[in-house]
């Protein structure tokens, strides 16, 4: 049983406990009608209770006085859930008031925040700012050496922060990229709703983080520049590939034409051989005719003239064949040399076309990697 004397002594203890209670607290003492003493935490849990505030019938103090026993209530207050407790104060057998305490109900995330938040703050290369809030204000914060939202302090209202309000209204995580004027950088803000542990559909606050994206933005810009340069290079390579393919096709056609010329040269030589054979036979025929004309005497003299002309024609034909053969041999040699050079050129052009295609394929692969890099940069 709490006596009036004990309640007076408890004031000193309460003044010490009020600011070391996790999340802050409020202690107050009442008589049977109103608040006669109070102390409220400076941690932003609740507004100060005025001395003289009348007790409401359903208040925890009123219930403790009425029932003459300790009472505990769980109520929604100041954007969070609070635990209110009251113990009746006796003077003899009569209840003369109540000793009361109220403190925010802490959840597992709230209890864990002071442990994991400092560690997380040092894990991000560019720094990070983390927070917990109830439905009205910030209740916990953790900045880092490189990045800290100094204007966001415990007790700061969350109403101006669009992403937090949207998160609580829609009961879902919200991710956004915003521009931080103080740091002159883009930051990624991620906010997740915190649900009541007993009522999974009731949002009681938010957990969020804000982290700079300076490196990611630079990476995105570099990726965009790389993609642009690669696209221009790919266009040039494609033109070269088309030209190389056309050169290769033209060279193949030229090679075929050269082979056809060689074939025609061979056919000409065959014809020349046949003409030479005819010339040889004609010469022999003219020689025999001259012999027969000499035997015939004056009668065969005219025939002898014809025979002489036949031998001259044969000799002229043989000389012409020789000159033509000499020319065709030179043509053949020149064509064979052209064919060898054509084969080399064809091989080089084919190699060039293949190499160009390989370079084009490599550029395509690099462009794919650049696109992946850009996607990764967006997720950072």
User: Which pLDDT tens digit goes with each residue over 28-50?
Assistant: 999 999 999 999 887 655 667 89
Q: What is the pLDDT of residue 75?
A: 81
Q: What is the CATH number of the domain that holds 268?
A: 1.10.287.950
Indicate if 167 and 291 belong to the same structural domain.
no
Number of domains observed in the structure of the chain? 3
Q: What is the CATH number of the domain that holds 11?
A: 3.30.450.20
Question: What does pTM read for this prediction?
Answer: 0.42
* Listed residues 148, 181, 212: the one ending a domain: 212
Q: Is the dihedral of CA 311, 313, 314, 315 positive or negative?
A: positive
User: In which residue are the tokens 């009361």 written?
Assistant: 100
> What is the distance between the terminal CA atoms of the chain, rounded to a whole angstrom?
60
Q: What is the pLDDT of residue 17?
A: 84
Structure tokens at 361: 């394929």
Indicate if 58 and 9 belong to the same structural domain.
yes
Burial of 319 (0-12, 13-18, 19+ CB in 10 A): exposed
Q: What is the pLDDT of residue 196?
A: 83
Q: What is the pLDDT of residue 348?
A: 64
Burial of 247 (0-12, 13-18, 19+ CB in 10 A): middle
Task: Please provide the DSSP assignment of 130-151 as one string.
Answer: EEEE-SSBEEEEE--SS---TT
Q: Which domain holds residue 160?
A: 109-212
Indicate if 335 and 239 belong to the same structural domain.
yes
Burial of 316 (0-12, 13-18, 19+ CB in 10 A): exposed
Indicate if 195 and 223 belong to the same structural domain.
no
Q: What is the pLDDT of residue 217?
A: 47
Question: Which element (helix H / strand E) includes 81?
Answer: strand 80-91
**Within the chain, which residues score under 50 in pLDDT?**
215-217, 219
Indicate if 265 and 159 belong to the same structural domain.
no
Indicate if 101 and 114 belong to the same structural domain.
no
Indicate if 49 and 66 belong to the same structural domain.
yes
Indicate if 243 and 295 belong to the same structural domain.
yes
């Amino acid at each position: 049983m709490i006596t009036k004397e004990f309640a007076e002594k408890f004031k000193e203890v309460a003044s010490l406990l009020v600011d070391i209670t996790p999340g802050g607290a409020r202690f107050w003492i009442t008589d049977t009608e109103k608040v006669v003493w109070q102390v409220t935490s400076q941690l932003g849990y609740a507004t100060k209770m005025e001395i003289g505030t009348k007790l409401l019938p359903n208040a925890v103090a009123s219930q403790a006085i009425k029932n003459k026993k300790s009472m505990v209530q769980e109520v929604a207050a100041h954007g969070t859930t609070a635990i209110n407790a009251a113990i009746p104060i006796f003077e003899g057998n009569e209840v003369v008031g109540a000793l009361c305490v109220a403190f925010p109900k802490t959840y597992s995330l709230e209890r864990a925040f002071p442990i994991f938040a400092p560690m997380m703050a040092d894990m991000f290369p560019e720094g990070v700012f983390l927070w917990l809030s109830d439905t009205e204000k910030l209740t916990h914060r953790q900045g880092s050496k490189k990045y800290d939202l100094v204007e966001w302090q415990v007790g700061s209202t969350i109403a101006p922060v669009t992403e937090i309000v949207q998160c609580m209204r829609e009961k879902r995580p919200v991710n956004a990229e915003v521009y931080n004027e103080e740091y002159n950088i883009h930051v990624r803000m991620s906010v997740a709703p915190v649900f009541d542990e007993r009522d999974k559909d009731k949002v009681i606050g938010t957990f969020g983080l804000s982290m700079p994206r300076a490196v990611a933005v630079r990476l995105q810009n570099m990726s965009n520049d790389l993609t642009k340069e690669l696209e221009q290079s790919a266009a040039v390579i494609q033109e070269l590939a088309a030209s190389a393919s056309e050169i290769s096709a033209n060279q193949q056609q030229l090679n075929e034409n050269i082979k056809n010329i060689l074939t025609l040269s061979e056919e000409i030589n065959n014809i020349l051989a046949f003409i030479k054979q005819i010339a040889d036979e004609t010469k022999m025929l003219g020689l025999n005719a001259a012999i027969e004309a000499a035997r015939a005497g004056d009668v065969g003299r005219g025939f002898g003239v014809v025979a002489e002309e036949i031998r001259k024609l044969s000799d002229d034909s043989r000389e012409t064949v020789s000159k033509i053969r000499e020319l065709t041999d030179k043509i053949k040699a020149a064509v064979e040399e052209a064919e060898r050079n054509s084969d080399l050129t064809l091989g080089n052009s084919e190699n060039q076309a293949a190499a160009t295609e390989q370079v084009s394929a490599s550029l395509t692969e690099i462009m794919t990697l650049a696109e992946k890099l850009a996607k990764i940069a967006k997720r950072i």
